[in-house]
Amino acid sequence: MLPVPKKFFITAAAAEGKSKLTAFDNALLKAEIGNVNLVRVSSILPPDCEYTPGMKIPYGALVPTAYGSIVSDIPGETIAAAIAVGISPDSFGVIMELTGKFTKEEAEARITRMVQEAFEVRGMELKEIKVRAVEHTVEKIGCAFAAAPLWY
C-alpha cells in the first residue's frame, strides 16, 4: 500500500526551449520541480494535507503530481496553464488543472469555476481555493505548465 501524501504546494511557470520537450523541461525547472520524477495523478487532495509553499523535494524522488501543460511552436501565440486546489473544512480536497490558448486571467477565472463545480457535484463545502496560473507568448517553442505536487 502506498503512503498518503501529507503536504502539497502549487506552482506555475513558462519557458522557451529548442524543442517541445526541452521547453517542457525548462518550464519544470522554472516551476522548481525539474529535478524530480513526476507521477501524474488525478484530482483528489488527501484529507488534512498541509499547504507547504517552498517545500523542497529530494532530487530524483517519485512525486505524485496533478499537472497540466501546453506546448506551442507558433510564434506570437498566447498559451496558459493553471492549477487550483479546493480545500474542504473537514474532508478531502479537489485539484483541477487547465491549459489552453487564453490569458492568465481567463485561466484563473475558468479554473476557479471548475473547482466550484467539483465541490458542488460532490455536495461538499468549499472553504478555500488556492490558484496559480501563468501565460506565455511563444517566441519559437514555448511551454506553460502548472502543477500541484504532493509529498509525505
- Taking the domains of the chain in order of start, what are their residue ranges? 7-151
Q: Please provide the DSSP assignment of 32-76 as one string.
A: T-TTSEEEE--SEEPTTPEE-TT----TT-EEEEEEEEEEE-STT
Q: Specify the DSSP class assigned to residue 4.
A: P
Out of 37, 50, 105, 128, pick the active-site residue.
Answer: 37
Q: Specify the DSSP class assigned to residue 140.
A: S
d(CA 125, CA 115): 11
Give me the pLDDT at residue 2, please: 86
- Tell me whether residue 43 is one of the annotated catalytic residues: yes
Out of 43, 88, 91, 106, pick the active-site residue.
Answer: 43
- pTM summary value: 0.96
The yes-or-no verdict on residue 78 having pLDDT over 90 is yes
pLDDT bin (cut points 50, 70, 90) of residue 126 is very high
- Tell me whether residue 42 is one of the annotated catalytic residues: yes
CATH annotation of 7-151: 3.50.20.10
Out of 26, 97, 108, 135, pick the active-site residue.
Answer: 97
- Tell me whether residue 72 is one of the annotated catalytic residues: no
**What three-state secondary structure class fits 93?**
strand
